[in-house]
Amino acid sequence: MAQRKRQLVADELSEAALQLLALKGFDGVTIDEIAAAAGVSKRTFFRYFASKEDVVVQHLADMGTGMRTELAARPVEERPSVALRHAVWASMTACADHSDHAERALNVVRLILRTPALRARFLERQAQWRDDLAVELARRLGLDADTDLYPQLAAGMALTAFDSVLRRWSGSDGAEDPAELTDRAFAVITPALDAVE
């Protein structure tokens, strides 16, 4: 029950922030305004989020967890390129599939890509995702995530593909198909991903 309430408050803060940011832009909105719009105190805001950047980036934060979960669920004998493509594609699909959710995700992605402070925070999140994917890749392939180069490089390539797809998808105002973009991006990096020894 407490966890559900926490999630509801976090969602309310996120929703309030996104609505205000859409109206006034990132620099035009204060934490006080976000808290007031959500009907909570500034102190409550800081129980849930460390900064204004976090309240926006949090909207896409679960994508990294979803990628690692999807990668872990793939058959072990599957080529790394196929497993990673599925992991990235699953996250993109979750982001862009449902019309209401897709429109909101598109607005969040645009905001993140156009706001340097948000872009920096999103790249910090992606660095953690890379480490998580590298650990999972190392486990799947029987490699050492700390000493073998492949897991970090492969995870980095997959996330570069993910980032490129996000940029193209948002740049097309959601018109381009994320699944097709993901396939095209992975076609470029597949030879390197499958060159693991």
CATH number of 1-49: 1.10.10.60
- Domain 52-193 grouped into CATH 1.20.1250.20: no
What does the pLDDT look like over 64-120, one tens digit per residue? 888 999 999 999 999 999 999 999 988 887 666 655 667 777 888 888 888 898 889
Q: Please tell me the distance from the alpha carbon of residue 146 to that of residue 7, in angstroms, as a whole number.
A: 35
What does the pLDDT look like over 129-188, one tens digit per residue? 999 999 999 999 999 999 999 999 999 999 999 999 999 999 998 889 888 999 999 999
* One-character DSSP codes across the chain: -HHHHHHHHHHHHHHHHHHHHHHH-GGG--HHHHHHHHT--HHHHHHH-SSHHHHHHHHHHHHHHHHHHHHHHS-TTS-HHHHHHHHHHHHHHHHHSSHHHHHHHHHHHHHHHH-HHHHHHHHHHHHHHHHHHHHHHHHHHT--TTT-HHHHHHHHHHHHHHHHHHHHHHHTTT-S-HHHHHHHHHHHHHHHHTT--
- Listed by start position, the domains of the chain span 1-49, 52-193
